[in-house]
Amino acid sequence: MDAASRLLIAEGQVITPFEGGAWVEFTPLAGCQGCAASQGCGTGLWARWRGAKPRRLAIDSHRPLHPGERVVVALPARGLVQGALGLYGMPLIGALGLGAWGEARFGADSPAVILALLTGLALGAGLTRLVARYHGARYRPRLHEPPGR
């Protein structure tokens, strides 16, 4: 499997350039082929529920971009999975860990268990923000230019 096949690719339009990148607007897809055939899937349901509003993302670029320019943006699939695990996993592990500790320490019927669970959730979310501050650039989409271009 080559490196290009492990990328999530989307096309968008540059809205506001900045040093080292730009804000790019993407029009979300209405769904997949299953949605078009009325077989239904979660993506199509989600798209209909949220509406077809464009989404904006900051991307990194090694070359200057201009407003209105059409660009292809790539995100490594592995980075998406790792980012999602970190984003949802750390708060979940914190909540479950401190919740279990609270139950063992104070008993299952104590209000302190809920407080411990919420504290773990907050600590996990804080840790997620801290990690994102120092390692967030690895999860940011980048300008994609296929070889030979």
Summarised one tens digit per residue, pLDDT across range 54-105 is 788 888 888 889 999 999 888 888 888 888 888 899 999 999 999 999 999 9
Report the C-alpha gap between 10 and 6 in whole angstroms.
Answer: 13
pTM here is 0.62
Instruction: Return the pLDDT at 83.
Output: 83
When comparing pLDDT for 10 and 2, which is higher? 10
Burial class (CB in 10 A: 0-12, 13-18, 19+), 22: buried
**Per-residue exposure over 32-57, b if at least 16 CB sit within 10 Å of its own CB, e if not:** eeebeeeeeeeebeebeeeeeeeeeb
When comparing pLDDT for 146 and 70, which is higher? 70
In the numeric block, the tokens 């080292």 are attached to 20
